[in-house]
């Protein structure tokens, strides 16, 4: 049964993608609003925060003393112990840590790869699969939308630079398979992906900051449309978190840094290595 959060949602500030400052943060939500959610809804919100844990796990696997992002669900001590247990071959209950993280860490030690992109892509694939299986229709659709969008952008950019597309695609959906195998100009996705034309236009944007802004605007529009009739529900709180993180990222990114990043990515592509995580 759905729970309504009239007081919490009514008290949230209005957000726009153009906001240049925030009085509230993703970290604030976790400490102030998260405790008031039902246990079932906390599990949904956890799917948002787990992306920070994913990045933290990758860091700690390379350096157990690495500084981690505090926005994750788990502390450095908890993740370090978790990693140590799995490294020793012990089993960890899914109630303690998400099953996909256990799968990834076990695979990491059993089949180590020299290329960090292989680890990053494998973890992303497991995470998306895990999140898309949640019972909440909006949250599941949000992750599927992002997986589809990211993969299509990667495929379009890879094709532009005459790179092999198949190894760069993350996940195991019908769209993923089409991107890996189709030689058609539209990958056979016209009519299947209703935002395909928008992605083609976005991929043609040369300036990285402008391209990223267009991608985020597409995300923003999608989530607003998908939750148009969700007024005081967990879906609205989930969207608030997504938008909050988006604005936080833009506030921290200035145009010069963006242009420098763009030049470094192009240089990397010209050296014919895999597409960096910034495009994923």
Residue where the block lists tokens 């229709």: 137
**30 in any annotated domain:** no
**103 in any annotated domain:** yes
Q: What is the pLDDT of residue 21?
A: 82
Q: Look at 71-80, 176-185, 208-217 and tell me which has the smallest mean pLDDT.
A: 208-217
Q: What is the pLDDT of residue 230?
A: 83
Buried b (16+ CB within 10 A) or exposed e, 131-167: bbebebebbbebbbbbbbbbbbbbbbbbbeeebebee
Among residues 92, 214, 246, the alpha carbon closest in space to that of 149 is found at: 214
**255 in any annotated domain:** no
Q: What is the pLDDT of residue 276?
A: 43
**239 in any annotated domain:** no
Q: Where are the alpha helices (DSSP H) in 161-207?
A: 174-181, 196-203
The count of domains in the chain is: 1
Residues 117 and 125: their CA atoms lie apart, in Å, by 12
Question: Where do the DSSP E strands lie in the chain?
Answer: none
**102 in any annotated domain:** yes
**193 in any annotated domain:** no
Q: What angle do CA 266, 218, 20 make, to 5 degrees?
A: 85
**Domain that includes residue 109, residue range:** 37-132
pTM metric for this prediction = 0.86
Residues 154 and 223: their CA atoms lie apart, in Å, by 21
pLDDT band at 67 (very low <50, low <70, confident <90, very high): very high
Among residues 230, 277, 11, 15, the alpha carbon closest in space to that of 123 is found at: 277
**100 in any annotated domain:** yes
Residues 17 and 206: their CA atoms lie apart, in Å, by 21
**4 in any annotated domain:** no
Q: Residue 198: is its pLDDT beyond 90?
A: yes
Q: Look at 1-5, 162-166, 207-211 and tell me which has the smallest mean pLDDT.
A: 1-5
pLDDT, tens digit, 9 for 90 and up, residues 87-139: 998 888 777 899 999 999 999 998 766 666 689 999 999 999 999 999 999 99
């Amino acid at each position: 049964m759905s729970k309504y959060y009239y007081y919490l949602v009514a008290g949230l500030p209005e957000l726009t993608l153009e906001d240049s400052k925030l009085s509230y943060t993703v970290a604030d939500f976790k400490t102030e609003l998260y405790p008031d959610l039902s246990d079932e809804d906390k599990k949904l919100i956890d799917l948002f925060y787990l992306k920070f844990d994913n990045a933290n796990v990758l860091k700690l696997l390379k350096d157990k003393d690495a500084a981690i992002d505090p926005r994750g669900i788990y502390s450095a001590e908890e993740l370090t112990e978790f990693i140590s247990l799995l490294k020793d071959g012990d089993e960890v209950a899914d109630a303690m840590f998400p099953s996909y993280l256990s799968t990834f860490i076990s695979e990491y030690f059993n089949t180590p790869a020299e290329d960090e992109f292989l680890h990053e892509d494998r973890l992303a694939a497991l995470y998306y699969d895990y999140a898309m299986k949640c019972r909440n229709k909006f949250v599941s659709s949000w992750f599927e939308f992002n997986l589809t969008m990211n993969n299509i952008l990667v495929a379009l950019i890879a094709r532009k630079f005459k790179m092999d597309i198949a190894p760069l695609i993350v996940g195991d959906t019908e769209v993923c398979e089409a991107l890996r195998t189709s030689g058609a100009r539209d990958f056979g996705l016209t009519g299947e992906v209703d935002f395909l034309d928008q992605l083609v236009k976005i991929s043609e944007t040369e300036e990285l900051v402008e391209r990223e802004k267009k991608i985020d605007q597409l995300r923003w529009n999608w989530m607003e449309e998908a939750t148009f009739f969700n007024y005081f529900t967990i879906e609205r709180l989930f969207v608030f978190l997504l938008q909050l993180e988006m604005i936080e990222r833009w506030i921290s990114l200035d145009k010069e840094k963006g242009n420098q990043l763009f030049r470094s990515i192009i240089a990397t592509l010209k050296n014919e290595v895999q597409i960096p995580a910034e495009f994923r």
